[in-house]
Structure 1
């Protein structure tokens, strides 16, 4: 394993003499093998190490894990930083899944530690099995090359010396070196998609199709990384070559030149254009804009970014429109996702057993399905609207409710309302209506979430 790490470091230029490397150490086998191998290779590559451990506060063993890493750093005479962060609060604030929130908080912590101690590199313990899982995960999501290239050995400050070492090799290395890693029981939870791929799909592929699937997928990722680099460069060059002008809220491209580009580069240029306007777009949204750019016309992407194709110009522009002028009305898809493109948000809906307790935020609601008049409508506020706020006996004008919670007038027409018949059932993100709450008698519940879109 050490030879593989040494080879990866040299091939991708991961370490240079004098580097101070912040090593993310959870205490698990991967991060423990990473720290040990980098420590063994210190004299050879001339780097120094700083141990960084983050307590996410999500597991009962988190405090013991932190203490384990602290004792290990002291035993190996390595400087260390150990901190705790409130991942749940971050998740709520940024409306992310728990896994996404934990990842963002972890990388932010590692970058903060690197800045504080003068670390030029941040080493993380991703290995070959993680890479294979990422390739499959992105493939199942329908990713293009950008997603299928998976993780890079080096990206900015981040380095991954173990990326071509398998989990089995790492565990064997730990045994040979007398290392005693901590284990995270949540890695066995197959309700999480990545764990399902790890424990169900990959073993099936190994048994039934390719015993070397981990190595094969890792090799595929390397090939795609190198080809993606070529295509990304061509797209950047094409984007720069057809840009006519860009100012705040407006980007103009040469449509005639864009039309001469290969189809794959056309898509990439549209993505780069969206990125330059600080927007992310899906494949379907890019394809819709590509069709409009070919035939002429207009399409609006989420967040009110409009793509206009007229004459010789292809323009991306944010229209100047006052919030009170925005109106929308959609039938709620149950089950399913109802996009609200005017708001850059969406409502996801599912039917489920009512929960015994509910600790979600205001962007989540549970309603008694049998109390609802179908179909349900999602629209914005209209003068004269009223509802019965949860916990109150009487009705209240929505305008008065907005005033009571000090919601600015400019934002009131941007609040989605779930309407059942003529009654407002949920002021999305703010308050459920009393008439539709679940009770001990509820047999079937409508579970709603207000989320960013796309």
Structure 2
């Protein structure tokens, strides 16, 4: 096993040489073998041990065991204790998810504060198989069947090519001691049920099942790589970036023989789960939306618009005094008295200053807002109808600001001035208002 891990590291992880490595070490078989191997290979390592306080005195005995191993081998060690149960209750998480969040948050903190380069975990081939079966049982795409990655940014899993049996044999041959986690014997968790019943049956059917499974995962990963390559090429034809938003052209999307697969590839990383609802958006009416925790997908005419969720406070207001020359928040707007009118545009208007009542107010658009569009000779129009004429998406509408004088709209900013404040032959004081 020593030669096999050495060849593996030289072939795939040469960049670890000379780096400071933080080894996640629970005291169990896998992590103790990993610590032994990297210590013998003279890597610069430190041990990080988490006491989750889930098994009473047993958890503290694990902590003591790992501490004594580190001291005996002169390996730097970091230890922390978590009230995992309380954390899980506070954030409404399962114990396993809570422990994972606590563990990795602490690991990343150590990387930063102690200047380590990589975190190493002792996941092995049997862990990979169990994860595959868990994902398969819950329903997953191709990505969920490719298993645990050997590297995920600065997390490295160097033992994935070894089976649990190989690791145990090596530990016994080299008289490596480890601690047994009593919770591993429980069938309370799905992973343990798969480990105790399903995996042994598969190995009974095929003694070389782990090796066959590793080959299958290699093929699945190659297929996933091809899917990602195709996804990137098609994405460039269908998607267009617009600030923080991404617009997907539905006409181009629907030409694809299997557009649902592409949507899954493009949107999966944004935390969406309601995939049937997303696929239905393609044929839905404009205005329909699907949400993840941080993003939304909006159907807008011939587009799907992906955008971060920015909750708009409709009651938000900003006041502008008579002598104020510029506004920086929420928009960058300047005000100045001028003698003559120059070029009018969507971003520059000229109004009769004597018709204004200060303070002016900046407000978000609301559904019932009505104004008299410049050039329509006193005819009123709903701002929502203006937005429809301008073909604004719901997202654009939500982000539009209106300038008011005494509850009358002076300007739908960036689109249209109100007729009531126009310059006339009798105007004495001209105010130029410009959106920078």
Structure 2 residue runs of 5 or longer lacking an equivalent are: 316-436
Among candidates 159, 163, 168, match of residue 162 of structure 1: 159
Q: CA deviation at 1:323?
A: 10
User: Is structure 2 residue 27 aligned with structure 1 residue 27?
Assistant: yes
- C-alpha distance in 1, partners of 2:24/2:160? 15
Among candidates 215, 218, 231, match of residue 235 of structure 1: 231
Counterpart of 2:254?
259
Q: CA deviation at 1:113?
A: 1.7
Counterpart of 2:428?
none
TM-score computed with the length of structure 2 as normaliser = 0.65
CA contact (8 A) 1:298 1:308 kept: yes
User: Is structure 2 residue 115 aligned with structure 1 residue 125?
Assistant: no
- C-alpha distance in 2, partners of 1:99/1:142? 20
Q: CA deviation at 1:180?
A: 1.1
Structure 1 residue runs of 5 or longer lacking an equivalent are: 325-454
User: Is structure 2 residue 230 aligned with structure 1 residue 223?
Assistant: no
Q: Label 1:185 to 1:297 Cα distance change in 2 as closer, same or farther (>3 A).
A: same
More displaced stretch, 146-155 vs 26-35: 146-155
Q: Over the residues paired in the alignment, what is the CA RMSD in angstroms?
A: 2.6
Listed as ranges, the matches of 1:70-109 within 5 Å are 70-109=67-106
CA contact (8 A) 1:19 1:120 kept: yes
CA contact (8 A) 2:284 2:299 kept: no
- C-alpha distance in 1, partners of 2:280/2:222? 29
| Matched residue SS, 1:122 | strand
Q: CA deviation at 1:212?
A: 2.0
- C-alpha distance in 1, partners of 2:284/2:84? 47
Q: Label 1:97 to 1:246 Cα distance change in 2 as closer, same or farther (>3 A).
A: farther
Bigger Rg over Cα:
2
User: Is structure 2 residue 101 aligned with structure 1 residue 111?
Assistant: no
Q: CA deviation at 1:299?
A: 4.3
- C-alpha distance in 2, partners of 1:124/1:63? 21
**1:194-230 CA distance string (max 9 Å, x none):** 00000011112222x3222222222222222232233
Q: CA deviation at 1:70?
A: 0.9
CA contact (8 A) 2:231 2:265 kept: no
CA contact (8 A) 1:289 1:299 kept: no
CA contact (8 A) 1:289 1:307 kept: no
Q: CA deviation at 1:81?
A: 0.6
TM-score computed with the length of structure 1 as normaliser = 0.63
Q: CA deviation at 1:256?
A: 1.9
CA contact (8 A) 1:4 1:165 kept: no
Among candidates 293, 310, 313, match of residue 282 of structure 2: 293
**1:140-164 CA distance string (max 9 Å, x none):** 1111111111101111111111111
CA contact (8 A) 1:123 1:160 kept: yes
CA contact (8 A) 1:12 1:154 kept: no
Among candidates 290, 304, 321, match of residue 314 of structure 1: 304
| Matched residue SS, 1:181 | coil
Listed as ranges, the matches of 1:403-422 within 5 Å are none
| Matched residue SS, 1:235 | helix
Listed as ranges, the matches of 1:267-346 within 5 Å are 267-270=261-264, 272-273=266-267, 275=269, 279-282=270-273, 285-293=274-282, 299-302=288-291, 305-308=296-299, 310-311=301-302, 313-316=303-306
Counterpart of 2:387?
none
- C-alpha distance in 1, partners of 2:109/2:19? 17
| Matched residue SS, 1:162 | coil
- C-alpha distance in 1, partners of 2:313/2:94? 32
- C-alpha distance in 1, partners of 2:15/2:35? 14
**1:373-405 CA distance string (max 9 Å, x none):** xxxxxxxxxxxxxxxxxxxxxxxxxxxxxxxxx
Q: Label 1:88 to 1:239 Cα distance change in 2 as closer, same or farther (>3 A).
A: farther
Among candidates 42, 52, 65, match of residue 62 of structure 2: 65
Q: CA deviation at 1:320?
A: 7.1
Q: CA deviation at 1:301?
A: 2.1
- C-alpha distance in 2, partners of 1:261/1:9? 42
Q: Label 1:98 to 1:14 Cα distance change in 2 as closer, same or farther (>3 A).
A: farther
User: Is structure 2 residue 51 aligned with structure 1 residue 55?
Assistant: yes
Q: CA deviation at 1:288?
A: 3.5
CA contact (8 A) 1:122 1:159 kept: yes
Among candidates 129, 132, 137, match of residue 134 of structure 2: 137
- C-alpha distance in 2, partners of 1:97/1:14? 37
